[in-house]
Structure 1
Amino acid sequence: MPIELKGYFTPSDRTLATGQRAELRTIAIDGSGETTLLVADQVIEAPNWTPDGRALIFNAGGALWHMPADGGAEPERIDTGDIRRLNNDHILSPDGRIIYMSNGDGHIYAVPIEGGTPRKVSNEHDTPFSYYLHGVSPDGRTLSYVAIEGLGRDRRINIFTIPAEGGPDTRLSDIAEPNDGPEFSPDGEWIYFNSERGAQKPGHAQIFRMRLDGSDIEQLTDDQRVNWFPHISPDNTWLVYLSYPNGTEGHPPDKEIILRRMRPDGSEKADITAFFGGQGTINVNSWAPDSRHFAYIAYPVG
């Protein structure tokens, strides 16, 4: 039986509808073995699976939490010092020792997996520039993120990298169409992402990949649905992504969505499971180290 929690987390800006719940689930790549580990009456989002396979990490109420991957105990809060407005963009270093996280102040921080005093990774900018973290290179030395630059109609969302220890930002894209979810492949050859580049109507994001310097861009999906957040398995054999209904703009919550799989080159596309979800479901890489299972959040009503 899953753990059921009521009023367990600090309230956040996003709330669930009457009768709605958040469910932390795991499932195999072929859609089998779906298991619900945690049911909450508050919003929980974006699970990571630790590289040792022992724990799941997710965010709720502006904080990070961890719980056993078998659902054997209630979640415990990870100490992140005075950084307490964390969003659902957080990733783990390849060795599992560090959590990199995006905060509501628009910056990236690093904290030990067991918690502690955060270290600021990102830079200050003279013009509006907010960091939204998504990937870490296989050697743990580089982070990939999207930056929101500017305000209002001049706002642009492009892809960058930054050294994990801190350093200069490197721009990989410079286009007017929004980009998101940049994530390194485990072989270190590609960065996978979603983008509206080439879209015929606003919001029609598809999945792409590019080389680490931003070259050789390839489009991997081209259908009527809106596709977000590509996540590659640790063994580099499968990619899971979030597929919204046609006409969706951005990555909103509370939609009838599908989790789909494909090979890293875009072949062998197939549905895995369908449910009510969206924002918070798989904003971050949630693969288990066995490359056969992954975690996600559903938000059923009733």
Structure 2
Amino acid sequence: MQIRPLLFCLVLSQLLIAQEGHVGIFQRNEDIGGPKLAGSATYDKASQTYSISAAGANIWGTKDEFRYLYNSLEGDFILTANFEFVGENQTHRKMGLMARTSTDDDAEMIGGFLHGNGLTAVQWREVDGAEIKSPNNEILASKRFFSVIQLERKGNRFTLRAAHMGEPLQELGSKVLNTMPKAVFAGIVLCSHDENKLETAKVWNVRIDRPVPEDYDPGKEGWMGCRLETMNVFNGKRKVVHEKDGRFEAPNWMPDGEELLFNMDGSLFTIPVVGGNIKKLNTGSAIGINNDHCISFDGKMLGISSSSGNGSNVYVLPLQGGEPVAVTTESPSYLHGWAPNNKEVVYVAQRNGVKIYDIYKKSIDGGREIKLTANEKWEHVDGCEYSPDGKYIYYNASRRGGTMQLWRMKPDGSQKEQLTFDDYNDWFPHISPNGEWIAFISFEPTIELNSHPSYKRVMLRLMPVNGGAPRVIANLYGGQGTINVNSWSPDSKHLAFVSNSAKKE
């Protein structure tokens, strides 16, 4: 009769070991270097937040002691996370991101760390057993802590970046470690810097992105994995609600606030906002739908762009599904928005053999299309979308030789007004349902002129609808398909978007 209790204890022991080893997206979760006090880590699935406790004398010299949540990663990666200390300040406690060759306490490593006094430092150990080094350009952030850290590996070069909430990432340092193997342990760390004390931190928005090579051709090699995410635009907290090893794009938030609509394999699908089973929407004969779909302001109609033998055209159909009705018959035409009267749509198109896009509007009941831009002064316009009050059409445009910026104009095409003036390439302005905010995607200045490519480090940014300084609400790996359509939640507090990674971790 004693066998069952013993068996139960053995099974429970194995479960506890497994729980210790795996937490959230990390394969391993353990103390490194044998700290005097044992650390721990938990993961809240609802908020997708890690809570970590750790002791450890230091991460310095020839011996490290800390708590480590990590995966074995081979090849290039981009690891990004938000950090926050919990409790009273301790000057030298540190948290951050690290890559190292092994779990030995003297292993070759590189990391970026936030300290309790605001110091942000890049540190590395060039070979096993060597002293840790740090550059002379450490940054003291005073009481305004960096909240985002990013560690990128590209070949044998490791680059550390950090950002305050709402600001772009800035490079803290970069180091080539030629002795680093292709496979390393990489993840998040916490050290108390006091062997007799446990410190606690919270970590969220943890993403391990596997970037593609510069010469990657999705047409030949296939599309990489995708994550469907939602985020609170005011506190920046994100949640992954769906993942796939292939491609999907461009989520809309449905009017009921309970589901998302997204494009995949030429069709449209819905999924609960909290994740779950996907369902295919009936779009009749339209089986070549691209990522330019949008929902009418009254929530009754769906507009799509779909390609057939004669190229892409604009169609409308009931939001619950049905047979599409053509709005345009001349291609290429790519839909971007509805008018608040629910009777007109705006789109970009090429006409009369001219390989330049202009913005047009047209009634869904027919009639002639009305050209709203004359593109002689421009290289490209795109992303046209009405404000909820109908007073403006927002869009992105580039002057000849310049970067892409955000603009707006009156619905008749008059009073064109530039809204952003920075070095980034800003695309796809999406106006919140309450008419107060613009969310958009920003690409680095180095991308090809007038393109919005896939598989890049990009930012989602937020600004007041009448203009003002944009602030960063997300750093991610994505681009094309991330936020091509208006994906605001009905309460104007959340966005949905797609990020990319070469495979799920």
Same fold? TM cut 0.5: yes
2:483 maps to a residue whose letter is: I
**Matching residue of 2:229:** 25
**Matching residue of 1:241:** 440
1:44-193 equivalent positions in 2, closer than 5 A: 44-71=248-275, 73-104=276-307, 105-124=311-330, 129-151=331-353, 154-176=354-376, 177-193=379-395
Shift in Å, 1:94:
1.5
Moved more, 158-167 or 83-92: 158-167
2:324 maps to a residue whose letter is: P
8 A Cα contact 1:15 1:43, kept in partner:
no
What RMSD in Å do the two structures reach over aligned CA positions?
A: 1.8
Shift in Å, 1:123:
3.3
8 A Cα contact 2:292 2:485, kept in partner:
yes
**How many residues align structurally?**
281
Shift in Å, 1:13:
5.6
Shift in Å, 1:112:
1.7
Shift in Å, 1:238:
0.8
Instruction: Tell me which protein shows more helix as a share of its residues.
Output: 2
Distance of 1:31 and 1:298 partners within structure 2: 19
Structure 1: gaps of 5 or more residues: 3-11
1:195-274 equivalent positions in 2, closer than 5 A: 195-197=397-399, 199-201=400-402, 204-248=403-447, 249=449, 250-274=451-475
8 A Cα contact 2:349 2:358, kept in partner:
yes
* Shift in CA distance, 15/162, structure 1 to aligned 2, threshold 3 Å: farther
Work out whether 1:275 is the aligned partner of 2:476.
yes
* Shift in CA distance, 268/224, structure 1 to aligned 2, threshold 3 Å: closer
2:398 maps to a residue whose letter is: E
Structure 2: gaps of 5 or more residues: 1-44, 47-217
Q: Give structure 1 regions of 4+ aligned residues with deviation exceeding 6 angstroms.
A: none
Distance of 1:140 and 1:74 partners within structure 2: 30
2:269 maps to a residue whose letter is: W
Shift in Å, 1:28:
1.1
8 A Cα contact 1:62 1:85, kept in partner:
yes
8 A Cα contact 1:275 1:300, kept in partner:
no
8 A Cα contact 1:150 1:156, kept in partner:
no
Shift in Å, 1:16:
5.0
Distance of 2:219 and 2:274 partners within structure 1: 29
Report SS of the residue matched to 2:291: strand
1:164 maps to a residue whose letter is: I
Distance of 2:220 and 2:347 partners within structure 1: 23
Distance of 1:70 and 1:289 partners within structure 2: 15
1:44 maps to a residue whose letter is: F
**Matching residue of 1:6:** none
1:103-126 alpha-carbon deviations (Å, 9 max, x no partner): 1132111122222211111134xx
8 A Cα contact 1:229 1:241, kept in partner:
yes
Identity within the alignment, %: 37
Shift in Å, 1:200:
3.3
The structure that has the greater radius of gyration is 2
**Matching residue of 1:8:** none
TM-score by length of 1: 0.88
Distance of 1:261 and 1:106 partners within structure 2: 30
2:257 maps to a residue whose letter is: G
8 A Cα contact 2:362 2:370, kept in partner:
yes
Moved more, 25-34 or 80-89: 25-34
* Shift in CA distance, 173/24, structure 1 to aligned 2, threshold 3 Å: same
Distance of 1:13 and 1:120 partners within structure 2: 29
8 A Cα contact 2:382 2:428, kept in partner:
yes
8 A Cα contact 1:48 1:284, kept in partner:
yes
8 A Cα contact 2:477 2:500, kept in partner:
yes
Distance of 1:143 and 1:15 partners within structure 2: 36
Distance of 2:496 and 2:408 partners within structure 1: 23
**Matching residue of 1:290:** 491
Work out whether 1:40 is the aligned partner of 2:244.
yes
Report SS of the residue matched to 1:178: strand
Distance of 1:282 and 1:299 partners within structure 2: 12
